[in-house]
A and B are shown apart, each in its own frame.
Chain A
């Protein structure tokens, strides 16, 4: 079953891929790593999935999605982690995927909060 799903992934429609991702998230499909689906999802769908992963506090799955999401969404993840909404999330994985201005803003916020 697991192998069958993984082999089918490149041929599934965007809609079917999202269904598979949601079913993995809900535990209806087990033993399939959600991460293998990421490169095949549309960015908007992947970002919708990341929102659900944040709600469910799935830190590891979120950190593996970071290279594929937009810098705006990376910043959202960073802020969620910084606000303590994600347990055991390594916040430093976000930084390279932000742009200079975003890093500058985080830096300034940190400096202000330290003062």
Chain B
């Protein structure tokens, strides 16, 4: 994904260096002033043909305009600012670094999106280690997780997870764990 704000800022700087207004640049490229304004705000990108015209007009290389314009694979904050949220979440869900990237995206999510992410984990459709998730969950989400770990029989590393919990959570978890294990033994 390209960082549209970085490219937009470069176009704006080059225009100002040429002492041109947005309208003058628009006229020379045969586009509307609104299109220039949109590009400079990072809300869109010129076509390849117009990028080519821009390099000629400003006498710069395409490399200069696109330099530092790749968004880092785990820079979900920038992606969320510039691209549809749904597509950014989808990108995360299809990432090969689910554990590592969890902390980079989870805090950016709205409440209902966080809930969906937790439900995906509980339905085993999100392959993230709970130890990576736990520190980023709020109180309510932790309680929700604890009760569901039991009912959905999610396998967890109880020692390491317990070490991350407060006393109250540990009691709930251990009760759930004992009940769950007890039922298994009876079977």
CB within 8 Å of B: which residues of A?
Answer: 38-39, 42-43, 67-68, 71, 91-92, 95-100, 103-104, 106-107, 110-111, 114
In the complex, are the beta carbons of B86 and A100 less than 8 A apart?
no
In the complex, are the beta carbons of B69 and A97 less than 8 A apart?
no
Which residues, 48 to 68 on B, are CB-close (under 8 Å) to A?
Answer: 48-49, 51-52, 62-63, 66-67
Separation in Å of the A57 CB from the closest CB of chain B? 21
Separation in Å of the B84 CB from the closest CB of chain A? 6
In the complex, are the beta carbons of B45 and A42 less than 8 A apart?
no
In the complex, are the beta carbons of A107 and B87 less than 8 A apart?
no
Q: Beyond A99-B1, A100-B66, is A67–B52 a contact (Cβ under 8 Å)? A: no
In the complex, are the beta carbons of B83 and A103 less than 8 A apart?
no
Separation in Å of the B66 CB from the closest CB of chain A? 5
Which residues, 85 to 122 on B, are CB-close (under 8 Å) to A?
Answer: 86-87, 89-90, 94
6 residue pairs from A and B, CB less than 8 Å apart: A67-B90, A95-B47, A95-B48, A103-B48, A104-B66, A110-B48
- Chain B residues whose CB sits within 8 angstroms of the CB of A97 once the complex forms: 1-2
In the complex, are the beta carbons of B47 and A107 less than 8 A apart?
no
Q: A91–B16 Cα gap in the complex (Å)?
A: 29
Separation in Å of the B98 CB from the closest CB of chain A? 13
- Chain B residues whose CB sits within 8 angstroms of the CB of A38 once the complex forms: 90
Separation in Å of the A89 CB from the closest CB of chain B? 13
Q: A21–B83 Cα gap in the complex (Å)?
A: 25
- Chain B residues whose CB sits within 8 angstroms of the CB of A107 once the complex forms: 48, 51-52, 62
Q: Is the interface of B mostly helix, strand, loop or mixed?
A: helix
Q: Beyond A39-B90, A95-B2, A104-B62, is A67–B47 a contact (Cβ under 8 Å)? A: no
In the complex, are the beta carbons of A106 and B94 less than 8 A apart?
no
B70 at the interface (CB under 8 A from A): yes
Q: A103–B61 Cα gap in the complex (Å)?
A: 13
Q: Beyond A39-B90, A67-B83, is A100–B48 a contact (Cβ under 8 Å)? A: no
Among B45, B49, B70, which residue has its beta carbon within 8 angstroms of that of A100? B70
Among A91, A96, A111, A114, which residue has its beta carbon within 8 angstroms of that of B2? A96
Among A43, A71, A92, which residue has its beta carbon within 8 angstroms of that of B47? A92
Q: Beyond A107-B48, A107-B51, is A99–B87 a contact (Cβ under 8 Å)? A: no
B4 at the interface (CB under 8 A from A): yes
Residue of B nearest to A90 (CB): B47
Among B52, B70, B89, which residue has its beta carbon within 8 angstroms of that of A111? B52
In the complex, are the beta carbons of B84 and A67 less than 8 A apart?
yes
Q: A62–B143 Cα gap in the complex (Å)?
A: 41
In the complex, are the beta carbons of A68 and B1 less than 8 A apart?
no
Residue of B nearest to A109 (CB): B48
- Chain B residues whose CB sits within 8 angstroms of the CB of A43 once the complex forms: 90, 94
